[in-house]
Amino acid sequence: MAIIYLNGQWLPDSEAKVSVFDRGFLFADSVYEVIPAYAGNFFRFEEHIQRLNQSLESVKMDLRFDGQEWLSIGKELLAKNDLKQASLYLQVSRGTSAIRSHEFPAEIMPTIFAMVSELPPVVTSKQKTKGIQVISCEDIRWDRCDIKTTGLLANCLLLQKALESGADDSILVRDGKVLESTSSNVFAVKSGQILTPKLSDELLAGVTREFVMLLARNLGYSVLEVDLYEADLQEADEIWLTSSNKEIRPVVGLNHAKIGNGEIGNVWREMNQAYQKLKYNLYQGEFSEIAGINTL
């Protein structure tokens, strides 16, 4: 049984209870973060907490919690659950009100929830060794996808659509423009250049996206944030999806057509190797600046 954190208490998951009047439950009035830990060290923790604070600010939630408090909750969860390679989930909802009403109550205490779960090894996962298949879908989400809210029903529907068509994920497109996938950012490699959709309200500023851009530039690649169209993906030599838990996933097929030669690309191999080396260094206790861990 997992031990979780809820509003200042450490509880077995089966004993943790949240009111049916919690606005997270009624309105998806809540924001969240997902942070990986390797060898007991959180990876790019500060960047994730910065994004959490941005999400809180965007939805006008006032939470006076600093990075050190989140870090000690995360570390305590790893210790209590005896995990070293883990995914930390943080969620803050606006809190519980006396009645169901859309307007924000004047006095309300946020509901703060955190848990850790084991992070399966990604390097050997089938999705990495064989590459993944994606389909493109019209984006049916709202216009503030830059906020990491728990209102993820559209993302779930779009992922489910991909799975039911035999693919692994959906790439979301609006007016022909590629935005992101259901839980990852998108990259394309074309003639040795690395391209990714530029940031806007329509996609999440992924922490891994930023890290992958940094890593690629360190390896000497030119990385451009651009308007990326579906046709660009069809003509790309490589496509990748990036996220904190799944790292960089190579895409080998789009809408049942091959990407490049239909096999995992060489630029992905180089990037993945560099990513794994950084993780390996973390295991050895070498905290390079680029990995940016526990720097709070």
Under rule CB under 6 A, residue 204 binds ligand PLP: yes
Kindly tell me which residue out of 30, 93, 136, 185 binds ligand PLP, with binding defined by CB under 6 A.
Answer: 185
* Interacting span for ligand PLP (CB under 6 A) from 7-15, 62-70, 87-95, 202-210: 202-210
Under rule CB under 6 A, residue 177 binds ligand PLP: no
Q: Per the residue annotation, which of 17, 126, 148, 279 is the catalytic one?
A: 148
Q: Which is nearer to ligand PLP, 78 or 172 (CB)?
A: 172
Under rule CB under 6 A, residue 272 binds ligand PLP: no
Measured CA distances, 113 to 7, 73, 74, 132 (Å): 7, 10, 11, 32
149 and 28 Cβ atoms separated by less than 8 Å: yes
Under rule CB under 6 A, residue 206 binds ligand PLP: yes
* Residue 159 to residue 209: CA distance in whole angstroms: 20
Query: For the window 100-139, what string marks contact with ligand PLP as x by the rule CB under 6 A?
Result: ----------------------------------------
Under rule CB under 6 A, residue 170 binds ligand PLP: no
Burial class (CB in 10 A: 0-12, 13-18, 19+), 87: middle
* Interacting span for ligand PLP (CB under 6 A) from 157-165, 207-215, 218-226, 275-283: 207-215
* Interacting span for ligand PLP (CB under 6 A) from 15-23, 70-78, 181-189, 215-223: 181-189
- Tell the smallest beta-carbon distance from residue 42 to ligand PLP (Å): 13
* Interacting span for ligand PLP (CB under 6 A) from 108-116, 177-185, 187-195, 264-272: 177-185
* Residue 1 to residue 17: CA distance in whole angstroms: 15
Under rule CB under 6 A, residue 180 binds ligand PLP: yes
Under rule CB under 6 A, residue 208 binds ligand PLP: yes
Kindly tell me which residue out of 133, 243, 272, 294 binds ligand PLP, with binding defined by CB under 6 A.
Answer: 243
Query: For the window 209-238, what string marks contact with ligand PLP as x by the rule CB under 6 A?
Result: x-----------------------------
148 is catalytic: yes
Under rule CB under 6 A, residue 279 binds ligand PLP: no
Q: What amino acid positions are annotated as catalytic residues?
A: 148
Q: Which residues bind ligand PLP (CB under 6 A)?
A: 34, 180, 183-185, 204, 206-209, 242-244
